[in-house]
Amino acid sequence: MKKYLIILFVLLGFYGFSQQKIRGVVYENTEDDKNLPLLGVNVLWEGTTEGTQTDINGKFELDYRENAQLVFSFVGMRTETVAVTRGQELTVILYPDNMIEAIVIERKKANLSRNKASALNVTTISSGELLKAACCNLSEAFETNPSIDVNFSDAVTGNKQIRMLGLNSPYILIAEENIPAVRGASQATGLNFIPGTWVESIQVTKGAGSVVNGYESISGQINYELLKPMNDIPLFVNAYASTDSRYELNTHINKKVSDKWATTLFLHGNTRTSEKDMNHDHFLDNPLGKQINVLNRWQYTNAEKGWVSFLNLRYMNDEKQSGSVYFDKDRDKLTTNYWGSEILTEKMDASAKVGYVFPDAPWKSFGFQNSFNSHNQDSYFGLREFNIHQKSFYSNLIYNSILSNTLHKFSTGLNFTYDGYDEQVDNLSGTTMTDFSRKDNSVGTFFEYTYDNNDDFSLVAGVRLDNHNRLGTFVTPRIHTRYTPWAGGTLKASVGRGVRSANIFAENQHLFASSREFKILNTGGKIYGLDPEVAWNYGVSVMQNFKLFGKNAEVIADFYRTDFENQVVVDLYANPQEVLFYNLDGSSFANSFQLEFNYEITHHFNIRTAYKYYDIQTDYLNGRDSKPLQAKHRFFANIGYETHVTDKGKQWKFDWTMNVLGKQKLPYTGSNPLAYQAREFSETLTLMNAQVTHSFSPVFEVYVGGENITNYQQDNAIIDAHNPFGTYFDSSMIYGPVFGSMYYVGLRFKIDK
């Protein structure tokens, strides 16, 4: 691309020309490199429409102006700007504007992108990726991302659990717009109460993560951002129906009230109406239920002054019923007629965030976040009741700025949290309830320093100091580094410490659907008699981009180790009729290795594959053993293909995902009678999902898909289903889908102004 130069000949006005005029000639440079005078060239003072035009000889004359520039423009020629000084005689040559209209190839941001520049091991999942999952709420949004393992819902609660680095979701800090959200009473169920259509993007961080959001993250952090009213479209409607009788409706209504205020009303409803029992064990494969979920968001943005504010008000009511197909909740509740379970959840949230960015110093900002939550769960599983009501308050004040320049950033702040639990648990079916009500509060401060040498190295080093009435006073330092040794290569390493209190009943409530007695073996600690969970997480990640047959490919290898200083061990090996909770005595660690290979055959045709290896072992009472219901080897593959969007907005999208799970060790049932024993290991299972979407126009699209297309069903999912009030009943040993193949259809309707 040749650059065209201006050749300026400046002659001093010595010939008695009046010093108050600017004169000159404008030439056109032709294809055979001749300079010809050009008529009609606009000669204007910069930033104005005042000036003159050249005459037939290319000449012009203007009155002099101080400290101004003249702009010479003519159609088809490259515009030139010249600064003038007193008494100048100008000669300007204009060259043809041959620059090809820069075809803006709008490289659509990949749906799933690893953030290479960050020192943290972060992957961003965009809304495009969320559309690929069958459904419906956040717990199902990770099915196409290999870094998070989505496990299977048990037949009773219908909740899908997620895992990172092999560790269950309680060890992941899940935050909504940087405010910890899924925790405490909602730990196991919270993700199911966030509709997928509300989410704008999700950031998944492997390893301990940043100290800014809290001290509780051990294996990772998940932060999801909701749609912002200022950027949203006026109307969005999504309807969904599936062969497992699940129906959903989402409606978003958005209004820009003024240039500074915008609001969106999110409405969600879902229901499952009919009873399905595909494996004929007389137990429902999926819970019946209904949910209503409403969120109203307000956003205030004043870009010139630098203020941004969000206000959220939310209400959710969810009812689930499961158990025997003959169970009638009005007639059989808490009786031995038939085994049934109901989980009734009601949530209310109010949160407000205010941010201020200094207009002349954009690296300096304040943020003040406040959130009040009420989460009530009233439930029973057969004869066993479990009620937990939690009221929480969270407040965080953050200040961001730089030390000397933007290569050295820091973040610091103060944090306050309060949790009031009203909790009653029935340890053993049909006996008395034990009260575990308590109040928790903590105060903390943090400091995080980010260094980027603008070249090949960056570092995030943070430390938190917190004082919690049950966890004590403790420090959680974390450090993340990134180094780019050569083009396309990235090396990351991190070390971090996390501390949390285990809400043993809320986190393990799926175990209530069994005959197991819940026993807590320690009494000295402050959290149900147990001690805080403390762990160190170390990890390295190596990434390399390269060209394979001329196309973009990347290889990523991650290795992480989580080492528990103390863990609340959930022991399913000691006795099939018990679940024991005790402080770790010995070691407990989780090693996870992930190897990913991603290949971009065309920009619209992507293949992702991953192999994961987990080695998770704990010292139980009976000795060291590997974690139950955890596959050592997992393999993941995803193929996505999209056609070009036509002028009318038509497009086809195809997506296929496969997961292969190696054998998993099952909880011990050796002391049960032979008929009620599970095998020691499950078999290897292969699962497939696929989805086809067709957009008829930018306004309307339809999608069809299937989950578990190979129709895998776990046999013998429930131990002793015929005798649910007996000693051997256990419906919690789920290692694969119970339901079989499921097909669904949905539509999305948008009005974009």
Which residues are at the interface with another protein (CB under 8 A)?
3, 5, 8, 358, 360-363, 402, 404-407, 454-455
Q: Half-sphere exposure of residue 244, counting CA atoms within 13 Å on the CB side?
A: 24
Q: How far is CA 417 from the centre of its chain?
A: 23
Q: Is residue 359 within 8 Å of 305, Cβ to Cβ?
A: yes
Cβ proximity to another protein: between 67 and 454 the closer is 454
Cβ proximity to another protein: between 318 and 452 the closer is 452
Q: How far is the CB of 10 from another protein (least distance, A)?
A: 9
Q: How far is the CB of 451 from another protein (least distance, A)?
A: 12
Q: Half-sphere exposure of residue 349, counting CA atoms within 13 Å on the CB side?
A: 25
Cβ proximity to another protein: between 404 and 432 the closer is 404
Cβ proximity to another protein: between 18 and 406 the closer is 406
Q: How far is the CB of 569 from another protein (least distance, A)?
A: 50
Is residue 563 helix, strand or coil? strand
Cβ proximity to another protein: between 273 and 406 the closer is 406
Strand partners, 295: 266, 314
* b/e per residue 184-216 (b: at least 16 CB within 10 A): bbbbbbbbbbbbbbbbebbbbbbbbbbbbbbbb
Q: Which two tokens stand for residue 97?
A: 């504007």
Cβ proximity to another protein: between 3 and 644 the closer is 3
Angstrom distance (rounded) from CA 414 to CA 417 = 10
Q: Is residue 501 within 8 Å of 532, Cβ to Cβ?
A: yes
Angstrom distance (rounded) from CA 140 to CA 240 = 14
Q: How far is the CB of 80 from another protein (least distance, A)?
A: 12
Cβ proximity to another protein: between 36 and 361 the closer is 361
Q: Which two tokens stand for residue 41?
A: 């060239």
Q: Is residue 736 within 8 Å of 661, Cβ to Cβ?
A: yes
Q: Is 571 exposed, middle or buried (0-12, 13-18, 19+ CB in 10 A)?
A: buried
Angstrom distance (rounded) from CA 600 to CA 595 = 17
Q: Is residue 374 within 8 Å of 393, Cβ to Cβ?
A: no
Cβ proximity to another protein: between 127 and 401 the closer is 401
Cβ proximity to another protein: between 32 and 360 the closer is 360
Alpha-helix runs per DSSP H in 397-512: 504-507
Q: Which residues contact 292 (CB under 8 A, 6 or more apart)?
A: 268, 269, 315, 316, 317, 318
Is residue 509 helix, strand or coil? helix
Cβ proximity to another protein: between 8 and 540 the closer is 8
Is residue 287 helix, strand or coil? coil
- Measure Cα distances from 653 to 105, 125, 195, 687, 737 in Å: 20, 17, 22, 21, 26
Alpha-helix runs per DSSP H in 504-551: 504-507
Q: How far is the CB of 79 from another protein (least distance, A)?
A: 15
642-649, long-range: CB < 8 A, 24+ apart: 642/604, 642/605, 643/604, 644/604, 645/695, 648/697, 649/695, 649/696, 649/697, 649/698, 649/699
Q: How far is the CB of 489 from another protein (least distance, A)?
A: 16
Cβ proximity to another protein: between 67 and 405 the closer is 405
Angstrom distance (rounded) from CA 680 to CA 664 = 9
Cβ proximity to another protein: between 311 and 402 the closer is 402
Q: Is residue 223 within 8 Å of 241, Cβ to Cβ?
A: no
Q: How far is the CB of 3 from another protein (least distance, A)?
A: 5
Q: Which two tokens stand for residue 62?
A: 């203007």
Biggest distance spanned by C-alpha atoms of the chain: 119
Cβ proximity to another protein: between 326 and 358 the closer is 358
Cβ proximity to another protein: between 8 and 265 the closer is 8
Q: How far is the CB of 407 from another protein (least distance, A)?
A: 6
Q: How far is the CB of 514 from another protein (least distance, A)?
A: 59
Q: How far is the CB of 361 from another protein (least distance, A)?
A: 5
Cβ proximity to another protein: between 231 and 406 the closer is 406
Q: How far is the CB of 184 from another protein (least distance, A)?
A: 41
Strands 246-256 and 235-242: antiparallel
Q: How far is the CB of 11 from another protein (least distance, A)?
A: 12
Angstrom distance (rounded) from CA 119 to CA 700 = 40
Q: How far is the CB of 642 from another protein (least distance, A)?
A: 28
φ/ψ of residue 184, rounded to 5 = 65, -130
Cβ proximity to another protein: between 451 and 597 the closer is 451
Give, for 128, the enclosing helix (H) or strand (E): helix 127-130
Q: How far is the CB of 479 from another protein (least distance, A)?
A: 23
Cβ proximity to another protein: between 13 and 269 the closer is 13
Q: How far is the CB of 2 from another protein (least distance, A)?
A: 8
Cβ proximity to another protein: between 405 and 523 the closer is 405
Q: How far is the CB of 59 from another protein (least distance, A)?
A: 23
Q: How far is the CB of 98 from another protein (least distance, A)?
A: 15
Angstrom distance (rounded) from CA 260 to CA 398 = 23
Q: Is residue 405 within 8 Å of 361, Cβ to Cβ?
A: no
Q: How far is the CB of 710 from another protein (least distance, A)?
A: 47
Q: Got the DSSP string for 351-409?
A: EEEEEEE-TT-TT-EEEEEEEEEEEEEEEEETTEEEEEEEEEEEEEEEEEEEESEEEEE
